[in-house]
């Protein structure tokens, strides 16, 4: 439907409702022709995505996945929020790395290493998981090098542990092409196992059979100290590297024959194949050939530019409603007139991908409750709803109240004056200006005289989508994977009510071939292998109720089969004021372990679990969360997590859980910990979408510190429509 067709249809309807003589001067929902032409030009411009982006310069990575040379680190830092998976291999040693620039001066890394069995420890190929952290002490200056201090494998078994202080200086001689980076540093541990120049205290070594997972305070910056150095030259997409390595690979070469180390010097060549991909080939330690592949992504720089249809401009009432007769409030007393205004709103919102739940109309005010099924941002649909209201509602309506909803639950209420909307669209700093005059309040419940949209309830929806179910770090296979399809369906008889289920059909996979679980605790998660033996399963089947029991309060109750392993009953209460950075919640679950075949039966293990939660929104879109209570294995403790959220939907965070289970009883890893990552589908495809791909990477999956996975927990959705989140994305109000 064209803009003029929409204008004509709505103009006729408005005449019927209000008896207005709008005349032929209106076009496109009371827009002048010039505005319509401007809209078309804007839409055409937005549709033309540029061919490339100015991605920030990124340092190359070493074989450990850190910014560096070949095996040795450099003092460089990646751009803030950079996300860099890489894989490297040489001499029977393969490393899979994940490097994240958590803060401008702090980066963290997770690594999984495989060493081929060459009589190293006597039990086949060796696999190790470890974490790194790096801190930049100061940036590079005109004459001053950048300096970074790092801890490698600081919480693992210690086989790869090492610390370092390193400096890097960039030079661009006018007489030579390209750019040179000079690096020199001092290393401890692995990075001082060759060419030591002095010693500082004693350093405990690696002990086979150590469960790992504990901070190695007694090893940090202790033992031998050795220098290392190197140079990197880059010119266009090509780069050359050379280094003097202080890693003697004693365990791999002296205690075994993984490879033969003949030299301390390493050389390599790298090629930047694309903005994201870098490839390298190397000659290491005088005897080995190596290869690497590095992928660098940044949440702030999408793979494909987001393409969103341009919004319709706001046209002040002064340009089309100059007749005083048009400002009458008499229409608000007519039920039929209100019904027609509701239908006009619903139709106009639909053009922007929004669903009208209900509308409450008064002579000078209107409240709309909208359901966003298209956009990740909640600010963008609020802005578009305000534009729709400015085009459709009679001129007498000055106060707009827009309530975003999820699952029939009102999340917040944004109040905007229509006159402010008309005045500020093209004002300097329009995004800041509109939020300076907008109010964000508790959504409350719908008014008794609210007009609900017809034919929304009862609602039935279904989807048929592929799924992946990975299993990480099995000692015999680093990554196991099941793939298949999910048939999901939901039925909502009324706002706040939902019955949902999912049938899963595994097509291919090898998760069921993993090692059997063993534990001193009840096997609440380590028997995942047993659940992966079946092809067709009932993944979920539950009924959910959401409601607002009071001011700033949100509630959920869920009954049924929550996940593949557990079913039961769950209740949750959340206190979260819309203008506060603090939220408090409580959840109580009685669950029973499901049969391995994941049909309708249960096993004989049941437990009452529950947690009290505190959420604190920090600057720079960080969220700190603490959940304290009882876990599935009956252990009692708390989970601490820190998550960074980006305005485009990326989320990256880490967590650890400490309970009353000892490291010995917990087993390998000593305590539960891991990394969470969420990548929005829209970021990859360049089209608006609320879907995302999420994964949790644990160094090892054990039974301590485990929670049941309940669908629809409240905080994430509620937070997304509260003031801090809306203001962080305030520029999208005008998109």
Q: Is the pLDDT of residue 6 over 60?
A: no
pLDDT reported for residue 30? 33
* 693 and 561 share one domain: yes
Q: What confidence tens digit (pLDDT) does each residue in 505-533 have?
A: 999 999 988 888 788 899 999 999 999 99
Helix or strand or coil: residue 711?
coil
* 279 and 326 share one domain: no
Domain limits for position 182:
83-295
- Above pLDDT 70, what percent of the chain? 90
Has residue 713 been placed in a domain?
no
C-alpha–C-alpha distance, residues 583 and 574, integer Å: 7
* 359 and 423 share one domain: yes
How many independent structural domains does the chain possess? 3
Q: What confidence tens digit (pLDDT) does each residue in 253-312 have?
A: 887 888 999 999 999 999 999 888 999 999 999 999 999 999 998 888 887 777 888 888
Q: Which of 260, 295, 330 is the last residue of a domain?
A: 295
Binned at pLDDT 50, 70 and 90, residue 94 comes out as: very high
Rounded mean pLDDT of 585-591? 98
Q: Which of 249, 264, 295 is the last residue of a domain?
A: 295
Q: What share of the chain is helix, strand, coil (3-state, %, to 5)?
A: 20, 40, 40
- Tell me the two tokens of residue 637: 């403790």
Has residue 523 been placed in a domain?
yes
Has residue 471 been placed in a domain?
no
Q: What confidence tens digit (pLDDT) does each residue in 191-210 have?
A: 999 999 999 988 877 665 55
Q: How far is CA 59 from CA 68, 74, 419, in A?
A: 8, 9, 50
* 508 and 434 share one domain: no
C-alpha–C-alpha distance, residues 259 and 606, integer Å: 51
Q: Which of 240, 260, 295 is the last residue of a domain?
A: 295
* 404 and 541 share one domain: no
Which candidate, 216, 243, 104, places its Cα nearest to that of 152?
A: 216
Has residue 12 been placed in a domain?
yes
The residues facing 152 across adjacent strands are 132, 162
Binned at pLDDT 50, 70 and 90, residue 41 comes out as: very low
Has residue 733 been placed in a domain?
no
C-alpha–C-alpha distance, residues 67 and 82, integer Å: 12
Has residue 715 been placed in a domain?
no
* 339 and 439 share one domain: yes
* 275 and 317 share one domain: no
């Amino acid at each position: 439907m064209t803009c003029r067709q929409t204008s004509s249809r709505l103009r006729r309807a408005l005449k019927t409702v209000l008896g207005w003589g709008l005349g032929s001067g209106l076009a496109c929902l009371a827009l002048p022709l010039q505005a319509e032409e401007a809209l078309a030009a804007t839409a055409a411009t937005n549709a033309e995505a540029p061919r490339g982006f100015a991605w920030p310069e990124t340092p190359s990575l070493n074989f450990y996945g850190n910014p560096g040379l070949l095996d040795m680190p450099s003092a460089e830092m990646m751009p803030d929020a950079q996300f860099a998976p890489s894989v490297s291999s040489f001499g029977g040693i393969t490393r899979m790395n994940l490097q994240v620039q958590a803060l401008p001066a702090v980066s963290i890394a997770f690594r999984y290493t495989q060493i081929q069995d060459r009589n190293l420890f006597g039990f086949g190929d060796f696999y190790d998981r470890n974490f790194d952290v790096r801190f930049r002490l100061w940036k590079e200056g005109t004459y001053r090098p950048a300096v970074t201090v790092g801890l490698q494998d600081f919480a693992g078994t210690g086989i790869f542990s090492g610390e370092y202080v390193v400096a890097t200086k960039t030079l661009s001689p006018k007489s030579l092409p390209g750019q040179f980076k000079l690096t020199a540093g001092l290393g401890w541990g692995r990075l001082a196992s060759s060419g030591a120049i002095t010693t500082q205290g004693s350093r405990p070594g690696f002990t086979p059979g150590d469960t790992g997972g504990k901070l190695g305070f007694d090893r940090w910056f202790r033992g031998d100290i050795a220098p290392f150095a190197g140079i990197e030259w880059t010119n266009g997409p090509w780069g050359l590297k050379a280094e003097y390595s202080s890693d003697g690979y004693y365990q791999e070469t002296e205690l075994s024959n993984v490879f033969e180390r003949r030299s301390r010097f390493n050389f390599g060549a790298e090629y930047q194949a694309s903005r994201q991909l870098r490839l390298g080939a190397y000659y290491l330690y005088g005897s080995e050939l190596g290869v690497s592949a590095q992928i660098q992504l940044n949440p702030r720089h999408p793979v494909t530019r987001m393409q969103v249809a341009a919004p319709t401009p706001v046209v002040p009432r002064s340009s089309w409603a100059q007749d005083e007769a048009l400002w009458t409030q008499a229409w608000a007393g007519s039920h039929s007139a209100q019904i027609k205004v509701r239908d006009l709103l619903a139709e106009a919102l639909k053009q922007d991908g929004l669903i009208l739940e209900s509308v409450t109309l008064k002579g000078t005010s209107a409240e709309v409750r909208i359901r966003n099924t298209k956009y990740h941002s909640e600010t963008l649909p609020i802005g578009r709803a305000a534009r729709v209201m400015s085009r459709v509602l009679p001129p007498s309506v000055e106060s707009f109240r827009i309530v975003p909803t999820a699952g029939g639950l009102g999340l917040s209420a944004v109040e905007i004056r229509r006159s402010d909307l008309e005045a500020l669209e093209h004002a300097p700093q329009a995004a800041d200006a509109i939020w300076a005059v907008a109010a964000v309040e508790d959504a409350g419940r719908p008014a008794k005289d609210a007009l609900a949209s017809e034919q929304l309830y009862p609602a039935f929806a279904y989807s048929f989508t592929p799924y992946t179910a990975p299993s990480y770090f099995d000692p015999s296979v680093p990554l196991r994977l099941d793939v298949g399809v999910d048939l999901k369906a939901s039925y909502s008889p009324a706002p706040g009510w939902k019955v949902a289920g999912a049938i899963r059909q595994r097509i291919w996979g090898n998760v069921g071939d993993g090692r059997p679980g063993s534990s001193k605790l009840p096997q609440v998660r380590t028997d995942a292998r047993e659940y992966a033996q079946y092809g067709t399963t009932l993944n979920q089947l539950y009924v959910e109720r959401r409601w607002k029991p009071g001011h700033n309060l949100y509630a959920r109750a869920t009954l049924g089969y929550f996940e593949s392993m557990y079913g039961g009953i769950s209740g949750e209460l959340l206190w979260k004021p819309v203008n506060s950075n603090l939220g408090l919640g409580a959840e109580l679950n009685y669950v029973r372990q499901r049969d391995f075949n994941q049909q309708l039966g249960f096993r004989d293990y049941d437990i009452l679990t529950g947690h009290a939660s505190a959420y604190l929104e920090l600057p720079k879109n960080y969220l700190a969360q603490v959940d304290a209570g009882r876990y599935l294995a009956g252990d009692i403790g708390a989970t601490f997590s820190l998550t960074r959220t980006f305005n485009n939907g990326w989320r990256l965070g880490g967590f650890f859980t400490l309970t009353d289970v000892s490291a010995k009883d917990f087993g390998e890893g000593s305590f539960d910990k891991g990394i969470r990552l969420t990548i929005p589908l829209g970021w990859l495809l360049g089209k608006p979408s609320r879907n995302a791909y999420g994964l949790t990477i644990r160094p090892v999956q054990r039974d301590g510190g485990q929670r049941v996975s309940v669908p629809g927990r409240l905080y994430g959705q509620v937070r997304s429509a509260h003031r801090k989140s809306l203001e962080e994305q305030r520029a999208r109000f005008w998109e």
